[in-house]
Structure 1
Amino acid sequence: MTDQPNLSARRFRRNALASVAAAALVAGGAVGAEFLQPATPAHAQALPRTPIEAPEHPPGSFANIVDKVKPGVVSVKVKLDDTAEADDDGQGQGQGRGLQNVPPQLREFFKRFGQGGQGGGPNGTVPGTPQRQGQRGAVGSGFIISADGYVVTNNHVVDHAKTVQVTLEDNRTLDAKVIGKDSKTDIALLKIKDGGPYPYVQFGKAAPRVGDWVVAIGNPFGLGGTVTAGIVSARGRDIGAGPYDDFLQIDAPINKGNSGGPTFNVNGEVVGVNTAIASPSGGSVGLAFAIPAETVQAVVEQLRTDGKVARGYLGVQVQPVTQDIAEGLGLDKPKGALVDHAESGTPAAKAGLKSGDVIESVNGTPVGDAKELSRKIAGLKPGAKVEVAYLRGGKSDTATITLGALPTEGGQVASRGSDASDGQPRLGLSLAPASEAGLSDEGVVVMEVDPDGPAAAKGIEQGDVILDVAGQSVTKPSEVAERIRSAEASGRKAVLMRIKSQKGVTRFVAVSLSKNAG
């Protein structure tokens, strides 16, 4: 008799607990060339000129779907130029390669969730294949979207590419060129130099629902043509990768090398592009993130015609409307995007939008939060006219705005997090007129902050300037107290203050009220 089953059970529990400390890495890390040695067939089979179509009714297995769509999926092999960044973790060859080719906006997410990762390189990333003879390369995935050979993949797969090749299901390896890249959504468009025709797949006509079956096909660890299946676990995931995060979360196993590959629905339509995974050990734990097809299509359309993406520009800085901010504004629930500041001379400022407005909808479509506003505006082209509905002082209004072009640096909607209310009654501040401190003619400067008070918990610091309270400007400490008492008398549960930091950045902070607040 043996206790091996109990040992196995204990190991399983340890592994399960370890998976809680998930690190994130891009699925398409560096993989050595030895993983991919395609052989070109003597006689290439004639390829269809029509789009691949799956059966109208999916079968009991995924085999028929895979047979139909697999010819449209390719492996992407890249040789990087000399400007590609060195290993992020500073390790020697063969260690910590999990962060190679990761775009800067994704690295913070990976590092933040990588602490305590089990196995692999630093921050829970997977050790990759060592560089060989000074050659720097990466292998990812992609899929063909037209008979003449346009291929979609991730930007981080082909970023800093010196040369790009794609390998088809029939083992032909063909040269390709980068038509355009978009780092903000991590999408790139390639074109196979040989004119084709090639088998291709189509984008889905409708967004998938949570719980829908999906099939992922790609090139994990250089093993092309790998098929996995799972379900859509969640929608609208914001992993901190960029300003337009709206990821699908799927549990189909995804690994390094799957980056840029497609996720299909049961109709054989592309519903997402696999981009990142969360993993404590480098292997799949059922947490994968895919860019929704609707986002990909909009980006690809511009890349194909212009080689770049032009985004609409509103010209506001916004932050989320949290529960306590909603109470401070007298809203029944948190919704919309709160305007911190409308940049001078921008479309928003010209239309009359100003600090304290809550943007509720764009072209009649409700805006759930600041991120959603960012995506909506960015999804429109410069010159487009939009109708923006907003709330000001408890009253609704609308403005028709002609969007500008998003500047190369910065953004039209700089979304910032806001402080959560701690429910404490006192501000814990010592105040003085900003004019007496020689700072400006407006506002009240924070002279001291009680480290145990609610204001400190909100991130208010010495030197910050309170510009207005409850929507009214203040120049004296007594006016701050008066505004707070008025808000309390009107039945508000919180009071909203606009704060200017020493760096010149403004934000709104909601402070909870009680009878002895002051």
Structure 2
Amino acid sequence: MHPKKEPTRPVPAGPRPTGPRLLLPGAALLATAALVTGCSSGGSSSSPAASSSASASASATPSAAAAPGANQLQNDYQRVISEVLPSVVQITTGTGLGSGIVYDDKGHIVTNAHVVGTAKTFTVTLANSSKTLDATLVASYPESDLAVIKLGSPPSGLKPAVFGDSGKVELGQITLAMGSPLGLSSSVTQGIVSATGRTVSEPKGGDSPGATIGNMVQTSAAINPGNSGGALVNLASQVIGINTLAATDPDSNGGAAPGIGFAIPAATITSIADQLIKDGKVTNSGRAALGITARTAFNADFQPIGVVVSAVTDGGPAAAAGLQAGDVITKLGDTPITTMNSLTTALASLQPGAKVPVTYQRDGKATTTDVTLGTLPTG
């Protein structure tokens, strides 16, 4: 459950994509913190530095007028933290730790599937508390990297989080990321919504399901190992996402790329969590599908050239549009398709019911047909 270092890229389909590599900040095995103090000194009034200091003081005067606004923003931060942080917990397994969000007053807690991994039992620590509580797995849905666990004896006063409307998340909104980075429980970082609608593929291996997730929220709030499963919050004290991924800098040997993190949106969280709690499984994935079995196709030089259809689901979207076994899909909408991963990524950005042009090769001839996407089966 240590954060995975192997590279992957959250990019559109293509043979050689570009973009940040990712790590799953799901668990931290050891927490360390270094405290650094700084000092400053000023020059005498007879030195040139004194003039610079005087100029700096004069130029700072307008900032003093802005102080009431700054104080209000600080008050907003503190209000949100006091309202939401009690709903964010630390989850510990036998191999590491991550974060979670109190979902209801019955003791259900939502987190990432890669945080729980293969574990069935957990210890949970509430915010600002040293007492540990026992919890068990309700169900996990690795395809969307979400899971629900439940406290064995929920304490009185348990405070569920309030989830916001994903459709109202906008660029530039201030965000606070809450969780247990590096095991430092009840930690908060701040940033903004940097982008919406991102489709991201996770690293695969260990406890990571390697899921491809659509419609993610990108944020500049710092997300570090141990933050996964924690809350991304707006200034209305609403959870707008669950912290899941952080980008890595390819030039720093896998080190984190500051200010590039990703969160699963609230709408996906509530849809999947409600199903896991009610049925113990996901019955409606909410993910688009073509209704085919397929694999990556290669040319004579062993270069990927598309996705060859092995079979079509009877009565499914592809069958209804006339696709057949042996067809090689090369484009979905405007997105080139060269591999199964590129097809999965493209579909993750779309919704069931959408009508999308699909370009394919049959007997050496390119054909385009409109396919009304179905829903990915949940098995």
Q: Which has the higher strand share?
A: 2
TM-score bin (small chain) = 0.5 to 0.7
* 8 Å contact kept, 1:339–1:359: no
Of residues 261, 264, 269, the one that matches 1:288 is: 261
State the TM-score, normalized to the length of structure 1. 0.46
Q: Secondary structure at the match of 1:255?
A: coil
Of residues 26, 29, 32, the one that matches 1:31 is: 29
Paired with 2:108 and 2:119, the residues of 1 have a C-alpha distance of 17
Aligned position for 1:67? 82
Paired with 1:255 and 1:301, the residues of 2 have a C-alpha distance of 27
* Superimposed CA distance per residue, residues 339-386 of structure 1 (whole angstroms, 9 cap, x where no aligned partner): 9687052423553543699988xxxxxxxx975645656xx7xxxxx5
Aligned position for 1:153? 111
* 8 Å contact kept, 2:199–2:348: no
Distance 1:274 1:349, change over 3 A: closer
Establish whether residue 315 from structure 1 lines up as the match of residue 291 from structure 2: yes
Paired with 1:191 and 1:314, the residues of 2 have a C-alpha distance of 35
* 8 Å contact kept, 1:146–1:200: yes
* 8 Å contact kept, 2:312–2:319: no
Aligned position for 1:469? 365
Aligned position for 1:457? none
Give the deviation of 1:265 after TM superposition. 0.7
Counterpart AA for 1:187 = L
Of residues 160, 163, 168, the one that matches 1:203 is: 163
Give the deviation of 1:188 after TM superposition. 0.8
Give the deviation of 1:466 after TM superposition. 6.2
Distance 1:317 1:192, change over 3 A: same
Counterpart AA for 2:28 = A
Paired with 1:34 and 1:194, the residues of 2 have a C-alpha distance of 31
* Superimposed CA distance per residue, residues 76-114 of structure 1 (whole angstroms, 9 cap, x where no aligned partner): 1111xxxxxxxxxxxxxxxxxxxxxxxxxxxxxxxxxxx
Aligned position for 1:335? none
* 8 Å contact kept, 2:25–2:226: yes
Aligned position for 2:12? none
Give the deviation of 1:247 after TM superposition. 2.0
Asked which structure has the greater CA Rg, the reply is 1
Give the deviation of 1:239 after TM superposition. 2.9
* Superimposed CA distance per residue, residues 230-264 of structure 1 (whole angstroms, 9 cap, x where no aligned partner): 00111222332334333211111111110110100
Of residues 124, 134, 152, the one that matches 1:193 is: 152
What is the root-mean-square deviation in Å for CA atoms of aligned residues?
3.7
Q: Secondary structure at the match of 1:287?
A: strand
- Kindly report which structure 2 residues correspond to 1:393-412, keeping only aligned pairs within 5 A, or say none: none
Q: Secondary structure at the match of 2:270?
A: helix
* 8 Å contact kept, 1:254–1:288: yes
* 8 Å contact kept, 2:200–2:213: no
- Structure 2 portions without partners, runs of 5+: 1-17, 34-70, 203-210, 296-306, 334-342, 369-379
Identity of aligned residues (%): 31
Bigger RCO (CA 8 Å, 6+ sep): 2
State the TM-score, normalized to the length of structure 2. 0.62
Establish whether residue 273 from structure 1 lines up as the match of residue 232 from structure 2: no
Paired with 1:162 and 1:179, the residues of 2 have a C-alpha distance of 9
- Kindly report which structure 2 residues correspond to 1:60-99, keeping only aligned pairs within 5 A, or say none: 60-61=73-74, 62-79=77-94
Counterpart AA for 1:29 = A
Paired with 2:25 and 2:272, the residues of 1 have a C-alpha distance of 21
Q: Secondary structure at the match of 1:140?
A: strand
Distance 1:283 1:373, change over 3 A: closer
- Structure 1 portions without partners, runs of 5+: 1-19, 36-57, 80-136, 320-337, 361-368, 381-385, 394-417, 419-464, 472-495, 497-518
Counterpart AA for 2:194 = S
Paired with 1:194 and 1:233, the residues of 2 have a C-alpha distance of 39
Q: Secondary structure at the match of 1:285?
A: strand
Distance 1:315 1:75, change over 3 A: same
Counterpart AA for 1:65 = V
Aligned position for 2:375? none
Paired with 1:253 and 1:353, the residues of 2 have a C-alpha distance of 47
Distance 1:341 1:161, change over 3 A: closer
Distance 1:173 1:157, change over 3 A: same
* Superimposed CA distance per residue, residues 267-305 of structure 1 (whole angstroms, 9 cap, x where no aligned partner): 010011111112336456111111111111111111111
Q: Secondary structure at the match of 2:222?
A: coil
Q: Secondary structure at the match of 1:67?
A: helix
* Superimposed CA distance per residue, residues 140-165 of structure 1 (whole angstroms, 9 cap, x where no aligned partner): 11110111211111111111215301
Aligned position for 2:275? 302
Counterpart AA for 2:271 = A
Distance 1:263 1:314, change over 3 A: same
Aligned position for 1:178? 137
Counterpart AA for 1:467 = D
Aligned position for 1:235? 196
Counterpart AA for 2:130 = N
* 8 Å contact kept, 2:139–2:276: yes
* 8 Å contact kept, 1:316–1:339: no
